[in-house]
Amino acid sequence: MSTAPAIAFAPGLTLRGFTPPLRLGDFGLIAFDMDSTLINIECIDEVADAAGRKAEVAAITEASMRGEITDFKESLRRRVAMLQGVPEQFLHEVFEQRLKPNPGAKALIDACRAAGLKTLLVSGGFTFFAERVCQVLGIDYARSNVLEIVDGHLTGRLVDQDWGDICDGAEKRRMLLATCERLGLRPEQAIAMGDGANDLPMMGAAGLSVAYHAKPKVREQAMVSIEQGGLDRLLEVLHA
């Protein structure tokens, strides 16, 4: 992260605290938030549509991503509770009919893979979607939250996992650092990309922080802020 003055590098592309170009091959890992970063939707808001509570859930999501709600775990539990009774089938409909990778996602991931980087998805969203997004885009590692489903319907609760209860900002950071350690990388050899306040901890731990169409609090701190165009605009400042 950087407190340096912002420099308009190109239309819709703002840089802070470094001079481009950087070499993509000098990095070994790129970590992505999922909802509204790698993909075009906030999955929880779309699932809430089936419960007739999309507007209510989306308002909490927006406040959380802007950093106006500081307890992400509590805000997520509140939102998940509103999903009680949603049929599991609706998750499939959201994935098949509403979810799309954001522009440039595949091009950026393919370029990173070609340069030898591993890829990580860390999401405060749900494993149901994260696993499928990883398959579509060829992502190596992932961490996200598991919705409890009983008799084909969401219970309004999350399932604890062996690493903890909820993937929040602190867990995103921990997973980024643990993956670096697993790969024999220093944290400064990692890139972290996100759009919301709960991405700031991992972005602060990485060597290069990237905001994608992000909330103001995130744009103001990221070393790269992509405000127009696709994810692959990062390649304008990272050369193979």
- Catalytic residue set: 33, 35
Could you give the CA distance from residue 167 to residue 161 in angstroms, rounded to a whole number?
A: 10
Closest CA to 122 of 33, 27, 40, 18: 33
Could you give the CA distance from residue 232 to residue 64 in angstroms, rounded to a whole number?
A: 26
CB distance 208 to 19 below 8 Å: no
CB distance 143 to 121 below 8 Å: yes
**In this structure, which amino acid lies at residue 58?**
A
Using only C-alpha atoms, the chain has a radius of gyration, in whole angstroms, of: 17
Q: Do β-strands 22-23 and 208-212 pair in parallel, antiparallel, or remain unpaired?
A: unpaired
